[in-house]
Amino acid sequence: MNCLIMRNLKLLQTLEFRDIQAPGRPQCISLRTEQSTVLIGSDHGLIEIDPVTREVKNEVSLVSEGFLPEDGSGCIVGIQDLLDQESVCMATASGDVILCNLSTCQLECVGSVASGISVMSWSPDQELVLLATGQQTLIMMTKDFEPIMEQQIHQDDFGESKFITVGWGRKETQFHGSEGRQAAFQVQMYESALPWDDHRPQVTWRGDGQFFAVSVVCPETGARKVRVWNREFALQSTSEPVAGLGPALAWKPSGSLIASTQEKPNQQDIVFFEKNGLLHGHFTLPFLKDEVKVNGLFWNADSTVLAVWLEDLQRGENCTLKTYVQLWTVGNYHWYLKQSLPFSTCGKSKLVCLMWDLVTPYRLHILCQGWHYLCYDWHWTTDRSSGDNSSDMANVAVIDGNKVLVTVFQQSVVPPPMCTYRLLLPHPVNQVMFSAHPKKSNDLAILDASNQISVYKCDDSPSVDLTVKLGAVGGNGFKVSLRTPHLEKRYKLQFENGEDQEINPLKFSLITWIQEDVFLAVSYSPSSPQSAIHHLTVAPSEADDEHRQLHISSSVTVDGVIISLCCNSKTKSVALQLAGGQILKYFWESPSLAVEPWKNPGGFPVWFPYPCTQTELAMIGGEECVLGLSDRCRFFINDTEVASNITSFAVYDEFLLLTTHSHTCQCFCLRDASFNTLHAGLSSSHVSKGESLRKVERGSRIVTVVPQDTKLILQMPRGNLEVVHHRALVLAQIRKWLDKLMFKEAFECMRKLRINLNLIHDHNPKVFLENVETFIRQIDSVNHINLFFTELKEEDVTKTMYPPPVTSAVQLSRDPDGKKVDLICDTLRVAMESINPHKYCLSILTSHVKKTTPELEIVLQKVHELQGRTPPVPDAVSAEEALKYLLLLVDVNELYDHSLGTYDFDLVLMVAEKSQKDPKEYLPFLNTLKKMETNYQRFTIDKYLKRYEKAIGHLSKCGPEYFSECLNLVKDKNLYKEALKLYPSDSQQYKDISIAYGEHLTQEHLYEPAGLVFARCGAHEKALNAFLASGSWQQALCVAAQLNLTKDQLADLGRTLAGKLVEQRKHGDAATVLEQYAKDYEEAVLLLLEGAAWEEALRLVYKYNRPDIIETNVKPSILEAQKNYMALLDSQTATFSRHKKRLLVVRELKEQAQQVNLDDEVPQGQESDLFSETSSVLSGSDMSGKYSHSNSRISARSSKNRRKAERKKHSLKEGSPLEDLALLEALNEIVQSTEKLKDEVHNILKMLFLFEFDEQGRELQKAFEDTLQLMERSLPEIWTLTHQQNSATPVLGPNSTANSIMASYQQQKTSVPVHDAELFIPPKINKRTQWKLSLLE
């Protein structure tokens, strides 16, 4: 409830039904919620009216049936519509309880009380009815009018909840302050009931029907008491004695408090009792003692509004008396009077009865004596100024009786019920409106209960206005830096018909101040569902008159009830919303004052599907749109519902801000937005939306946004205010400042709100680097510049942390090398050195330290220079301070090491003194170093600092006696390449290092590089061993030639090399080595035959003229190979056919299983965990069908296939879940291996023809051709088009839903993992490869 503090009640619509045609005087009212009709009881009977169609639906006379006397002295004390009995229950003062069926108009007397009935009260659940009788008893009955119990209304007992006194809590033992000890023994004086009290009992039920309270006048003391009873009719408690307790009684539906009234010596209070009868809080009515009496208290359905019905007491003879209906709400323990409706106490407009609607919480029904029925609908609204330039102060106005509490959020955030200043009005306020003029948005107009409009202006007027009082910002010695408004003028609203104001005090609603002396207002027709929109202007003759009057200068009638009016201050558009949801556009500036339907970009009229209590106009993507929020949290843009969980929204400048039920606040930029982007942004459930979304406290509502700032004011459910700086608003404001080169404002904001300072550069690198001097001069503070340096990083924050809401078309230039930090450091340093190098000394040092590779040596050098500087320069920093500062940026040990690396011992000592190091540690070390020779000293320092490359450089200059130390360091730290650069290539040192390097490479099994290193430095024997190990036979033979080996040694070397080459299956190379170096051509021929290099073998046979080898070796080898090929082709063909046949069977089985569509079938494969956590994981088994053949080439391929098959994850076992994939994989491999045989088959065919083995040649050619044809024919059957398509559409993916995944599984029960997709691509058979030998055909 408390979240309503910063809001006011605004009249949504008024429904009037005047001069209802009915006999007698109206006395009481009740509602039929299902039929939306109103029941009115009079001294003649009962009538039912429909307020919308304004007709009397039923009339039941109780006079004709004898229940009421004809002279009009009878009275109906209660009416209740009984939903489940489809009838109405009435009770008369004479004691009759009557049931009336309104559809048949039949009356039935269900009970009679001889002593009469003063009150009939039904429980909220309509299960129990309570009657207060003339004999001062209470009768409780069931809904079927069976008596449960009758009890005396006056009870001596306190009740079941009687308090227990333990002694120390007694009144006599307590401290009584200034009243003195005698206060403990004062006798309670009972005051009799108020003079105007009618002494009738009052009954009220708690909202859940478990308890009821009865207020009665005690016959012994004459004072009123409140007793609480439970549903079982057991007395629970009796109220403590309260002097001046009034008769009005109302139990809050939410159950916590019972409201009543109390007249005190000088004021009139509304007091609250707890269920235990103790007082708990009060508030004072804005009237003096004996000025008014309270006729009734009424809580609305959701317990947020308390209606108080007051009536003036007779004071003088000629004064006009009035009745008031006041609406009060509470927040932060403060009661606010939100609305005050004055009625006359005489004649037709005298109030008879009022009640809140049971279903619509903010609907109030009022019945007047002259048979006038009024129905008011209110809703909550935040009255805030709506300018978006810097002159707007972000004012929010809160109505509190005859005060308007204004909080100026641009200056300070004051928690309610406090405020920045109060405006005091002569009468209670009903409506506040800020000027719609964008430059005068701080001016406000106030409508009070006397229909007078007071205009307050915020300008530089020197006069002090006594009606304006400072609130929480005042105080002793406090200088007010605030422009407060002053009362400019007052207008009296002039009605066309004087009677209107008496009958309906809220004749005009939705008053809007559109320009100076011009107001728009809406009124409703009392006889038809029509509205009129009026122009209220001041007559020119009265422009300077003190008693100005606002006249209706022109009106437009609209068919339908207008429930909201919103105006866009920039475009001057006015949008009207009708109760049915239709949006109309009102052209108030045109002479014709036309009203036409508001059209969306498509040209269709806009209708809200639900009536919206808050409407605003905004430009979205260049189109003016109507935004609406219903009381059920549905949010509309034009006629599109974009979200259903929005709790509040505000339009500010180009931003739309919303709070949601998921406790987030979203901010959208409307300038480049569209319906689709907003819809997507609001409907998507992604948690991370970058800068547009932030979490807020549960139940937060937007109060206002401070213009030209980053503040968003939210109100929490308990009433307190919170200021959040929404990231989207902050970044938009920072971007504007950076575009205007307002670096100081941007920097301060970013520092305060923890925005990464890289944005200053990354927003527009080119502009920033061109304006670094401006940046430095604006920031001015050395500390702030240092802070900027320390936050720098290479990442572009506009791409990572703060991407712009809409990617700009202009791509800003970035440094291609990615050395952003170095570039900024260097640019800023140059600028600072040119402006004032002494002032910015620390920043210049920071620019060196923050580079990608910190330039610590330069920094230390600069600090060293500072130490030697005399005389001191103004603004300059001492070496002491600079070093102290450096130690904040750099670890002291690191700085010590770097100072040591400069070889400057003065600098080392300076840093060491600042560190935590013990002088006993570093002084002996430094003294030892000073005694050394320069190069060896530097070598020792570099070795200590682990700068080994530099160390060996210095050590190499120390002379040959230090070479062994150098070599050990090179070996230890693997610095061979660096060391080789330090010595000439013809020196012994170079050779020693090379040999060490080669041995190191040999240990790492890098034989060829080791051989090259050995060969380069002349260590040929080591080189030969290395090349032999690596199998580099050409290099080995080259080195062997340099070693001058004998013929026998060379032949042995050749045989060794050939053996190694055969192991590597390089038969051709091995044959070349044997023939040329070992002179063993016969062995060479055998190796070539083994490697199927037939033509090369023949070349050697004929070169050495040994035709006998043809018969003994060549021909047998060729025939053996032909047999092996034949066997392989037979095996491949048989396996291929078998697999193909099985594949077709498997596919058919799967199709059948799909048609049967077994429910218990679990889809297997990698997605099976979607369906069951416990589904088994199937492991692939090895493929069957391993072939072995005697021919070495073929065997090699088979062994390769075996290794591949062992790695396979799919099982060829029959019935395995992915058997079809395993078969496809096997078939694919067979086709590819057969395709690779073409060259080999072609070569052997040539040999078979040459040696006249035509028959075997034809046999092989035919077999190979048949195999290829079989495979070509089978490809379309195996790799069908449908299976390829199935593989192309993945089952899972980012756009899949649970339903689409299930549907995919229904279509294809096996899911195909992505990495198996290549199995569905058929292997290619190249028909252009010429393998056939035409001579054999």
pLDDT of residue 1183 exceeding 50: no
What does residue 73 show for φ and ψ, rounded to 5 degrees? -85, -5
Count CA atoms within 13 Å of residue 497 on its CB side.
11
Q: What is the residue whose two structure tokens read 């290829």?
A: 1268
Tens digit of each residue's pLDDT (9 = 90 or more) over 807-828 = 554 445 555 566 899 999 999 9
- By the 8 A CB rule, do 260 and 282 touch? no
- How much is the average pLDDT of 1046-1060? 82
pLDDT of residue 293 exceeding 70: yes
HEC secondary structure over 1120-1148: HHHHHHHHHHHHHHHHHHHHHHHHHHHHH
pLDDT band at 615 (very low <50, low <70, confident <90, very high): very high
Distance from C-alpha of 8 to C-alpha of 447, rounded to nearest angstrom: 13
pLDDT of residue 502 exceeding 80: no
Residue among 850, 828, 13, 908 at smallest CA distance from 379: 13
Number of H helices, E strands in the chain: 35, 56
823, 827, 828, 829: CA torsion to nearest 10: 100
312 DSSP β-pair partners: 292
What does residue 1329 show for φ and ψ, rounded to 5 degrees? -70, 120
Q: Kindly state the helix (H) or strand (E) to which residue 1008 belongs, with its residue range.
A: helix 1007-1017
Distance from C-alpha of 488 to C-alpha of 503, rounded to nearest angstrom: 31
Tens digit of each residue's pLDDT (9 = 90 or more) over 1-42 = 445 689 999 999 999 998 888 888 999 999 998 889 999 999
- How much is the average pLDDT of 981-1008? 86
How much is the pLDDT for 1209? 56
Which residues have a Cβ under 8 Å from the Cβ of 1181 and sit 6 or more positions away?
A: 1211, 1212, 1213, 1216
Which residues have a Cβ under 8 Å from the Cβ of 1308 and sit 6 or more positions away?
A: 1154, 1286, 1291
- By the 8 A CB rule, do 255 and 208 touch? yes
What does residue 380 show for φ and ψ, rounded to 5 degrees? -85, 140
User: How remote is the C-alpha of 514 from its chain's centroid?
Assistant: 37
How much is the pLDDT for 688? 56
Which residues have a Cβ under 8 Å from the Cβ of 384 and sit 6 or more positions away?
A: 394, 395, 396, 397, 434, 703, 704
Tens digit of each residue's pLDDT (9 = 90 or more) over 755-788 = 999 999 999 999 999 999 999 999 989 999 999 9
pLDDT band at 1206 (very low <50, low <70, confident <90, very high): very low
pLDDT band at 1157 (very low <50, low <70, confident <90, very high): low
How much is the pLDDT for 1186? 36
pLDDT of residue 475 exceeding 70: no
pLDDT of residue 1215 exceeding 90: no
Candidate ranges 382-391, 558-567, 1282-1291; pick with highest mean pLDDT: 558-567
- How much is the average pLDDT of 605-629? 92
HEC secondary structure over 787-850: HHHHHCCCCCCCCCCCCCCCCCCCCCCCCCCCCHHHHHHHHHHHHHHHHCCCCCHHHHHHHHHC
pLDDT band at 1076 (very low <50, low <70, confident <90, very high): confident
Helix (H, G, I), strand (E, B) or coil at 678: helix
pLDDT of residue 1337 exceeding 60: yes
pLDDT band at 592 (very low <50, low <70, confident <90, very high): confident
Residue among 920, 926, 859, 923 at smallest CA distance from 894: 859
pLDDT band at 575 (very low <50, low <70, confident <90, very high): very high
Which residue blocks in 1176-1313 are alpha helix, DSSP H?
1192-1206, 1219-1236, 1238-1250, 1254-1278, 1281-1288, 1298-1307
Distance from C-alpha of 756 to C-alpha of 747, rounded to nearest angstrom: 10
pLDDT of residue 170 exceeding 80: no
How much is the pLDDT for 1299? 61
Cα Rg for the chain, rounded, in angstroms? Answer: 50
**Helix 1007-1017 × helix 1020-1030 angle, to 10°:** 160
How much is the pLDDT for 1287? 47
Task: Say which amino acid occupies 612.
Answer: C
What does residue 293 show for φ and ψ, rounded to 5 degrees? -120, 150
Helix (H, G, I), strand (E, B) or coil at 654: coil
Q: Kindly state the helix (H) or strand (E) to which residue 881 belongs, with its residue range.
A: helix 879-889
Q: What is the residue whose two structure tokens read 């406790």?
A: 663
Report the relative pairing of strands 26-32 and 37-42 from DSSP bridges.
Answer: antiparallel
DSSP class of residue 883 equals H
Mean pLDDT over the full length of the chain: 84
The token pair at 1283 is 């299976």
Candidate ranges 62-71, 583-592, 606-615, 1298-1307; pick with highest mean pLDDT: 606-615
Distance from C-alpha of 779 to C-alpha of 792, rounded to nearest angstrom: 16
pLDDT of residue 1178 exceeding 50: no
Which residues have a Cβ under 8 Å from the Cβ of 882 and sit 6 or more positions away?
A: 841, 842, 845, 862, 863, 866
Other Cβ atoms closer than 10 A to 949 = 13
The token pair at 221 is 């003391």
Identify the burial level of 1293 via C-beta atoms within 10 angstroms of its C-beta, where 0-12 means exposed, 13-18 middle and 19 or more buried.
exposed
Residue among 525, 410, 558 at smallest CA distance from 473: 410
How much is the pLDDT for 1150? 86
Q: Which of 723-727, 932-936, 1333-1337 has the lowest mean pLDDT?
A: 1333-1337
- How much is the average pLDDT of 859-884? 80
Helix (H, G, I), strand (E, B) or coil at 733: helix
How much is the pLDDT for 1293? 54
Distance from C-alpha of 978 to C-alpha of 414, rounded to nearest angstrom: 72
Distance from C-alpha of 848 to C-alpha of 825, rounded to nearest angstrom: 7
Task: Say which amino acid occupies 313.
Answer: L
Helix (H, G, I), strand (E, B) or coil at 1313: coil
Residue among 431, 567, 421, 415 at smallest CA distance from 482: 421
User: How remote is the C-alpha of 642 from its chain's centroid?
Assistant: 16
Q: Which of 179-188, 384-393, 1211-1220 has the lowest mean pLDDT?
A: 179-188
Residue among 17, 42, 18, 16 at smallest CA distance from 29: 42
Angle at 888 between CA 886 and CA 894, to 5 degrees: 70
Task: Say which amino acid occupies 789.
Answer: F
Report the relative pairing of strands 421-424 and 403-408 from DSSP bridges.
Answer: antiparallel
pLDDT of residue 396 exceeding 90: yes
Angle at 1208 between CA 1206 and CA 1211, to 5 degrees: 105
**CA dist 837 → 38, 822, 830, 845, 1222 (Å):** 87, 19, 9, 10, 76
What does residue 1202 show for φ and ψ, rounded to 5 degrees? -60, -45
The token pair at 879 is 């070496």
pLDDT of residue 1300 exceeding 80: no
Which residues have a Cβ under 8 Å from the Cβ of 241 and sit 6 or more positions away?
A: 188, 190, 221, 223, 225
Tens digit of each residue's pLDDT (9 = 90 or more) over 295-315 = 999 999 999 999 999 999 887
pLDDT of residue 591 exceeding 80: no
The token pair at 293 is 């009496």
400 DSSP β-pair partners: 403
Q: Which residue has the higher pLDDT, 419 or 459?
A: 419
pLDDT of residue 675 exceeding 90: no
Longest dimension (CA), the chain: 157
How much is the pLDDT for 1187? 35
- By the 8 A CB rule, do 693 and 724 touch? no
| Helix, strand, coil % in the chain, rounded to nearest 5 | 35, 25, 40
Q: Which residue has the higher pLDDT, 3 or 320?
A: 320
How much is the pLDDT for 39? 94
pLDDT band at 1192 (very low <50, low <70, confident <90, very high): very low
Tens digit of each residue's pLDDT (9 = 90 or more) over 198-247 = 889 999 999 999 999 999 999 888 899 999 999 999 999 999 889 999 99
pLDDT of residue 48 exceeding 80: yes
Q: Is 255 left (phi over 0), alpha (psi -120 to 50) or beta?
A: left
Q: Kindly state the helix (H) or strand (E) to which residue 743 belongs, with its residue range.
A: helix 743-752
How much is the pLDDT for 801? 87
| Percentage of the chain modeled with pLDDT above 90 | 39
